[in-house]
Structure 1
Amino acid sequence: MGAYYTRPIAADGTPGAPTWQAWDGGNVGPYATGDGRAVTFTADSDPAGGSFVQSVFKNDVAGFFRVPSTSGALLYVTGRYAIVNGSSPAKQYIGGLGVYSDLQPIVTRSVAAASVWGTKVWTPGSGTGVVTAKDLKTGKVTDTIATGAPCVPKELQTMGRWIYWSCGPTSTAGVWDRTAKKNIAVPSGEILLGDGYVVRHDTADGALLLTSFADGTAATRKIGDLAAGGSTRRGVTWTVDKFGGPVAYVDADRRIHLVPSGTATQALGVIESEVTSEIGRDWWWQWRRLLSKPAASWKPTLTSKATGAVARTFSGAEVSGGVSVRWDGRDGKGVYVPNGTYTFTLTASPADGSGPALTVTQSMRVSSGAVARRDFTNYASWMPDGIGDVMTLSSSGVVSYRPGNGTGGIARTTSSSASAAAN
């Protein structure tokens, strides 16, 4: 029995100090999730408890979900979602770390090739070489792609624009470029997909071979040697960082090596997003995003749509994976902001310097903040919008509202049901 330690790696490859996380209780792993975390799989022969996938991070209390199978193996994990192939019963389970309170799988299906990226699970579709993506949150099919594979894929791996498919460990394999809409032939075997490359374990001589294909042409080079004999499991004794980082492996002397891929990474983007509350229903608003690779810095700003004034600004240092912002509806001085619609804007710069900065916007409403002066109504409903309005009284005694447009003007008259009593 041993212990798990994690060590952060900066974008330039500099390792940080190790941090103890958990004891090894006989589980299998750890497997890198690609967002700075790692998980293990524990088989449990007790049907009442079941097997489970769990984060090794001691402070990741929600990083857990159960699998209703007494045995099996972890097939694939990216970010917060993991795929387990159970063997008793023989079912495939897809679950999310900290996604659902009941900690049960999101999807239970027959065992088949499968991969997950963001909120989409990719599986073989109907017809030779066809793959489909289903959104795990909505259950709807979002993509159907003919990859050109001459088979129903036996293995799938996904990473942004790249879809790796294989007809078997000794058969044809390739990568479908979703951007260029073309297939690139790559080796098959014990493979892991990275951003613009695959790494293969040559089991005959223990070598790790990296094949880059980001420019549309496959080129292979040797990057290291694994320990001879013993267990050399992909994802455990060697792995790739699907979020733009290096390849990592353990050699015969149990030294950890980090090898840059040498390929240009995709632009910094968002692969999953979630708004967990809104001010008015609750007393806070939370926004969360999973980034496609580390950001050197990030700056969220909340701006009033009515006035254009900045209501609150946050800032963050280098981050890998998730970015989360929680706002209580107050400005930087602790005063509640006026009710109305606000624009949340996040800017983030890529830590590896590859590609432009990321900009994301999101609208949200505050309805339990400070009351804006003379804010009676808006165009769409009777809810306040943070813009001052005008109340009028006609010669016939009808009270009407003239909604403000936020730029000093007023809109058409909106009649109310109230009338002034005649004297």
Structure 2
Amino acid sequence: MPWYDQVALSPTHLVWCYDGVLHIASRQDPAAAVRTVPVGDITQVLSLVGENVIVSRYDSSLGSRDTSRAVSRVEAVPLDGSTPRTLLARTSRQAMPTPDGGLLVAGGADTDHWGVSLVEAAEGGGVTVRRIADAYPRQTAHTVSQLTLSQGRLTTVEQDPVGDWSYLHTRETGVADSPTAGARTTRGRIVLEDFSGSRPRLLDAGDGRTVISGYGTGAAQQPQLLGADRSLPGTRIDSSHSYRTATAANGRFAALTRPYNSAGAAETRVVDLDSGRTVYTTTDTVRAIWGTTLWVRSGNDSVAPVDLLTGQQGEPVWFGRGCLLSDFQAVGRWLLWNCVLNSEGQGVYDTVTKRNLTLVSGSGWDQAKLGDGFVAAVEAGQLKVIDVRSGTPVSRTAGKFEGDAWDVDPYTGVIAQLRSDNTIRLTSSDVPVSALVQRDATVATSVDVKGGAAQWSPTWWLNKPAASWKLVIGDKATGAAVRTLSGGLARGVVTPAWNGKDGSGRLVPNGAYTWTLTVTPADGQGAALTKTGTVRVTGAAAVRRDFVGSDGFGELVTLNGSGGLTYQYGTGKGTFTGKRTGSGWPTTVKVAPFGDLSGDRCNDVLVRSAAARCAPTGPRAGRR
């Protein structure tokens, strides 16, 4: 570093930095001892203002270390050695002392809020900072290298022209009417040097989460999960194995492929992203995941579905003799295939009607991406949208193809293209997404709410965004609603949580409850989705005379001639399923089943002895 960056001259002092220590010499009294203040690694000594040395310090969060870039912050370092104070979050290190001992500095909170600030000495030995002029630096577009679009959420990898580092960003694009990209949210720095070809693999799960991986076994390239509202780095999905790449992801499932073994086979493990459990393992090549269906290669010319909930493989889908399957994509009921070598072509297979629709015969096919009921393809420099819902392809031109990088949102039907000027064009396919359906769900049939400290947290994954949702929980015995939960826009997933309390904040009685979920589609296409079920609640308020199991049904209490006090397990239907007996009771006692006397959410039994004394007894909380 040039020596002059470490030296500053004020009207009263000469300041320089050497080996992490500031040296302050008086110009008015050259014989005075030089004062020293440890400062650590700084970029530049700017000036002395009052009793503070103003310095710039490199901030690694702003970009690569380069003296020509605005990647430093401005700090005031007190001469008394107390803690430095940040004056400006970012600076280009352009500074000029003023005749009265102040300092003019170019900088700001960020590059969008730039200007010239005046640093002046304040009473008590501190300094003040005030903006005296705004500046409007020439805006340079971020360089976009990758993009994905899922559930109306655009994810990009962009290089910051100021700091020269790349970051992951997201923008909301809207889920109905004309799509437009909203404000950019920075999700953190992504170190491209860690990935082969400087291109990480980004797999959107369709619920706001992103699986990020490289193409290698290095630690930085291992598959990680980035939550919907989280910043990098993500969480490593499976630290117990080393993987080569993440092959596919959708909803709660991700397919992670290990390195090739000595026999030339590569094992792929499908992991439940919520539980961390491996649900399926195969050495067949994984081609796609949609909902709970895994698609694996079955020979060169076929694929086979695997139900990830049962592990059962279904009937293969065959694409013709001589086909060497190249590209394969799955969206809902639709499969997009490309064959090369002896039987070249491109087409769509409908898994509902079992019909195969050839779009291109021979080698005339180009890039294509699958949507819900359509294919977006490139033809002679034009973007084509091919509607395949009727079984007969209907093609239209959607403008010039501008996709240096591009993607199709299978949940909204919107096409994103990266233009040469680094802007992103969003085009509607004008093909309505299918009616709202459930891709997957995890709904527990029982829950211990632990007095309201724990929650019943079902999850439903959807095939497209929802405008709103409502979950009504009702008493199964009476049919009366006890709690209604609701929410607004949901991008592909609905995740309510119920703590076992009613609308007034009181714990509901233990027992069985019904639930009804109603979800309204955001695009207004098709009917609302309705799902129903039941959940058994324990750990809430005790039902009177329910002494065993917290099942919401009362027990019959009996005392036999041998002193055996017995709970006869009730079913609520006039029958019994079992019993529990405690011996040694006097046959002269009188027993009266009662409610919860102590507030421990356990019922009590009143026992009157022959001496006419009455005392409560019963199972202790947590030991029913």
The two structures have a TM-score, normalised by structure 1, of 0.79
Alignment correspondent of 2:398 = 223
Deviations 1:205-235 (A, max 9, x none): 543322110121112233244458xxx3xxx
Asked if the contact 1:122–1:156 (Cα under 8 Å) also holds between the matched residues in 2, the reply is no
Deviations 1:173-210 (A, max 9, x none): 322212222222224543221100112244xx543322
Is residue 2:482 matched to residue 1:311? yes
Give the distance between the partners of 1:136 and 1:402, measured in 2 at CA. Answer: 39
Select 1:4's aligned residue among 148, 164, 168.
168
Give the distance between the partners of 1:110 and 1:70, measured in 2 at CA. Answer: 13
Residues 394 and 71 of structure 1: CA distance in aligned 2, closer, same or farther (over 3 Å): closer
Moved more, 295-304 or 218-227: 218-227
Select 1:326's aligned residue among 486, 497, 510.
497
Select 1:262's aligned residue among 430, 448, 451.
430
| RCO higher in structure (CA 8 A, sep ≥6) | 1
Residues 84 and 385 of structure 1: CA distance in aligned 2, closer, same or farther (over 3 Å): closer
What is the SS of the residue equivalent to 1:167?
A: strand
Asked if the contact 2:301–2:320 (Cα under 8 Å) also holds between the matched residues in 1, the reply is yes
Alignment correspondent of 2:351 = 178
Give the distance between the partners of 2:569 and 2:255, measured in 1 at CA. Answer: 56
What is the SS of the residue equivalent to 1:144?
A: coil
Is residue 2:335 matched to residue 1:163? yes
Deviations 1:64-88 (A, max 9, x none): 435966865x554433444466676
Residues 356 and 145 of structure 1: CA distance in aligned 2, closer, same or farther (over 3 Å): farther
Alignment correspondent of 1:207 = 382
Deviations 1:264-322 (A, max 9, x none): 32111111212469432863221112111000100012112122121211110011112
Matches within 5 A, 1:111-150: 112=285, 114-125=287-298, 130-138=302-310, 140-147=311-318, 149-150=320-321
Residues 111 and 387 of structure 1: CA distance in aligned 2, closer, same or farther (over 3 Å): closer
Alignment correspondent of 1:355 = 526
Q: Tell me how many residue pairs correspond in the alignment.
A: 399
Deviations 1:228-269 (A, max 9, x none): 8xxx3xxxx200111134111112222211111122321111
Give the distance between the partners of 2:528 and 2:313, measured in 1 at CA. Answer: 27
What is the SS of the residue equivalent to 2:539?
A: coil
Give 1:35 shift. Answer: 3.5
Give the distance between the partners of 1:79 and 1:414, measured in 2 at CA. Answer: 41
**Structure showing greater Rg:** 2
Is residue 2:250 matched to residue 1:78? yes
Residues 41 and 404 of structure 1: CA distance in aligned 2, closer, same or farther (over 3 Å): closer
Asked if the contact 2:247–2:286 (Cα under 8 Å) also holds between the matched residues in 1, the reply is no
What is the SS of the residue equivalent to 1:216?
A: coil
Residues 279 and 66 of structure 1: CA distance in aligned 2, closer, same or farther (over 3 Å): closer
Asked if the contact 1:306–1:386 (Cα under 8 Å) also holds between the matched residues in 2, the reply is no
What is the SS of the residue equivalent to 1:338?
A: coil
Residues 193 and 371 of structure 1: CA distance in aligned 2, closer, same or farther (over 3 Å): same
Alignment correspondent of 1:19 = 185
Select 1:243's aligned residue among 406, 411, 422.
411
What is the SS of the residue equivalent to 1:336?
A: coil
Residues 415 and 257 of structure 1: CA distance in aligned 2, closer, same or farther (over 3 Å): closer
Is residue 2:542 matched to residue 1:371? yes
Residue type at the aligned position of 1:259: T
Asked if the contact 2:413–2:432 (Cα under 8 Å) also holds between the matched residues in 1, the reply is no
The two structures have a TM-score, normalised by structure 2, of 0.56
Alignment correspondent of 1:379 = none
Alignment correspondent of 1:193 = 370
What is the SS of the residue equivalent to 1:223?
A: strand
Alignment correspondent of 2:448 = 280
Listed as ranges, the gaps of 5+ residues in structure 1 are: 377-381
Moved more, 20-29 or 269-278: 269-278
Residue type at the aligned position of 1:386: G
Give the distance between the partners of 2:297 and 2:202, measured in 1 at CA. Answer: 27
What is the SS of the residue equivalent to 1:114?
A: strand
Coordinate RMSD, CA, aligned: 3.8
Give 1:359 shift. Answer: 0.8
Is residue 2:556 matched to residue 1:385? no
Residues 394 and 225 of structure 1: CA distance in aligned 2, closer, same or farther (over 3 Å): same
What is the SS of the residue equivalent to 1:17?
A: coil
What is the SS of the residue equivalent to 1:345?
A: strand
Listed as ranges, the gaps of 5+ residues in structure 2 are: 1-164, 193-198, 589-624
Residues 334 and 190 of structure 1: CA distance in aligned 2, closer, same or farther (over 3 Å): same
Residue type at the aligned position of 2:356: N
Residues 154 and 109 of structure 1: CA distance in aligned 2, closer, same or farther (over 3 Å): farther
Matches within 5 A, 1:5-84: 5-12=169-176, 13-26=179-192, 27-28=199-200, 30-43=202-215, 46=218, 51-55=222-226, 59=230, 64-65=236-237, 75-83=247-255
Give the distance between the partners of 1:345 and 1:270, measured in 2 at CA. Answer: 14
Give 1:19 shift. Answer: 1.6
Asked if the contact 2:445–2:536 (Cα under 8 Å) also holds between the matched residues in 1, the reply is no
Q: Percent identity?
A: 30
Give 1:117 shift. Answer: 0.5
Deviations 1:106-151 (A, max 9, x none): 656446351100122111336x85532223354x125324455444
What is the SS of the residue equivalent to 1:285?
A: coil
Alignment correspondent of 2:473 = 302
Give the distance between the partners of 1:142 and 1:32, measured in 2 at CA. Answer: 25
Residues 330 and 56 of structure 1: CA distance in aligned 2, closer, same or farther (over 3 Å): closer
